[in-house]
A and B are shown apart, each in its own frame.
Chain A
Amino acid sequence: MSNDAGQPTDEAAEPDMAHWDTHVGIESLDLETVKDLPFEVAYEALDEAVRRLETGDLSLENSIAIYERGIALSARCGSLLEAAELRVQQVDADGQVTGEVAL
């Protein structure tokens, strides 16, 4: 599920799309950026955190760091899945949001 994480097409890509570099390691994931991760990235990182802990062979320091990030990542995933009621926003001719649509 996490491997074919879809990129929106170039035109739709947002500049703030935070990517976590798998080569750096989960410990280096900045906790602050977790809050802005798109679902597929957060999910993949969470999966990685679990796999890292499963391999064992980690210092206490690393275990805690990975665990802490895992918690933050699962919270991020959860918040994306449990968001409040879906809102519909209207756009104008320029594609700019002008307000909410009452349903």
Chain B
Amino acid sequence: MSDDFLTVGGLTGLIKERLEADPALVDVWVRGEVSESFMAKSGHWYFTIKDEDASLPCVMWKGVASRQHVLPEGGGAFTFHGGITIYRRNGKLQLQVDEIVAEGQGDLHARFEALKARLLEEGLFERARTLPPYPRRIGLVSSPDAAALRDVWHVIGRRWPSVELLLAPTRVQGDSAPAEIVAAIEAIGRAAVDVVIITRGGGSLEDLWAFNDESVARALFALTVPTVAGVGHETDFTIVDFVADLRAPTPSAAAEVVTPDGDELRYAVDDLALRLGRLAHGSLEQSRAGADRLAHRLGVASPGRAVERARAATAERRERLRRAMAGRLREAASGTSAFARRLEALSPNATLARGYAHVTRDPDGRTVRGTADVAPGTGLRVQVADGRFDAVVAGQAGLFDMFELDPNDTDALDADAPATNPSASDSHGAD
């Protein structure tokens, strides 16, 4: 007799090890009918599943059982998922069940997979058109009273409020839902929108089922504008998600991807308007300086008897120039001209009052647009609504002198006085 033997525990341990190393046995789907089922006082379930040929003991722990839609009551036919193991106490092989799928559910899953495979083969999942960056009309296929609709409305209203949001209302669950969703998709397709969002809030697999309907998938695919799906939660995938040009994890996320970032654009527009005002003013000052120089030259270049005539010519010329410009500018600055109001609207103060600050670098006056424009120690000039202050990137402060456009400043052009420094910052303080 050999000394080379295993203990019983050692042997069952070895069997257990082998069983649990086999991927085909630790992750297995099996179909059978339940018999000899009972729930122990502990809450664990013990039962046997069988078909014509065989039977297999099963266990399902309490925690797992509490998550199931169906329980393994005797006589029920289900599909079970779990892993094969051996119970060492009695050497019994058993299936440790972690999921039970009822007949109908199993069908749903199989149908989903079959449809998905078929539509994939047909090319219905290949759409990935570019979304319009600045849509003017957004179409929405949603239930009219869903939280999802409010989410979408809220996000779009914040980011891109001038868009037209058109809703094709539909029921999104129940037997009539697929047909209604198809009708809504077709309706929104006739509404000349730039992009379509199809959306529904979270729900159970059954709740989302209409979005796995083939007719819905085909209707969505037929749309000639890009589509974005925001159905259910992040972990929910429906056929509609695959058909859409873009799948967003939630309704809010769908609203976000179809709209530009309004805050960023507001900043960009304000910045351009500010530059425009400064440039325009500089250009006017240049013209004025040119006219003054001309007048001056006429004045000094007239000797002897010609002086009087030249002076007259100078005055006349100067007067004409003055009139030409002043007239144009006065007209512009008068209340009748939209020009004046626009100047007013352009005043940096209007922008700054909204909470923006205009930050320039002290050394070169360049607008700071990003972190790359500054370094520790860079001097900054910061203009805010009620004044200005200097700052240093982590450091000291100094004086700030920033040009401000003021419609009243155009009066200066009327004055006969010599040109003043166009960049004088106190032009605003006079009024």
Chain A residues within CB distance 8 Å of chain B: 1, 4-12, 14, 38-40, 43, 46-47, 49-50, 53-54, 56, 58, 60, 63-64, 66-68, 70-72, 74-75, 77-97, 101, 103
Task: Please pick, from A46, A70, A88, the residue contacting B167 in the complex, using a CB distance under 8 A.
Answer: A88
Cβ–Cβ < 8 Å partners of A103 in chain B: 149-150, 153
Cβ–Cβ < 8 Å partners of A93 in chain B: 183, 186-187, 190
Per the CB 8 Å criterion, the residue count for chain B at the interface is 63
Docked Cα-Cα span, A74 to B272, in Å, equals: 8
Report if B82 contacts A (CB, 8 A): no
Output the least CB separation between B128 and chain A (Å). 14
With A46-B272, A81-B162 given, is the CB distance from A70 to B284 under 8 Å? Answer: no
Report if B306 contacts A (CB, 8 A): no
Q: Which 3 A-B pairs have the closest CB atoms?
A: A95-B190, A95-B191, A86-B157
Report if B137 contacts A (CB, 8 A): yes
In the complex the two chains form, is B272's CB within 8 Å of A71's CB? Answer: no
> Can you pick out 25 interface pairs between chain A and chain B where the beta carbons lie within 8 Å of each other?
A1-B265, A8-B135, A8-B225, A9-B194, A12-B137, A38-B134, A40-B133, A50-B275, A60-B328, A64-B332, A67-B276, A71-B342, A74-B269, A80-B162, A82-B161, A86-B163, A87-B165, A88-B153, A88-B165, A90-B167, A90-B168, A91-B167, A91-B168, A93-B187, A97-B191
In the complex the two chains form, is A86's CB within 8 Å of B287's CB? Answer: no
Kindly count the residue-residue contacts between A and B in the assembled complex, taking CB atoms under 8 Å apart: 179
Task: Please pick, from A1, A12, A72, A85, the residue contacting B342 in the complex, using a CB distance under 8 A.
Answer: A72
In the complex the two chains form, is A81's CB within 8 Å of B165's CB? Answer: no
Task: Please pick, from A56, A81, A88, A94, the residue contacting B283 in the complex, using a CB distance under 8 A.
Answer: A56
Output the least CB separation between B162 and chain A (Å). 4
Docked Cα-Cα span, A70 to B275, in Å, equals: 10
Task: Please pick, from A10, A38, A67, A78, the residue contacting B136 in the complex, using a CB distance under 8 A.
Answer: A38
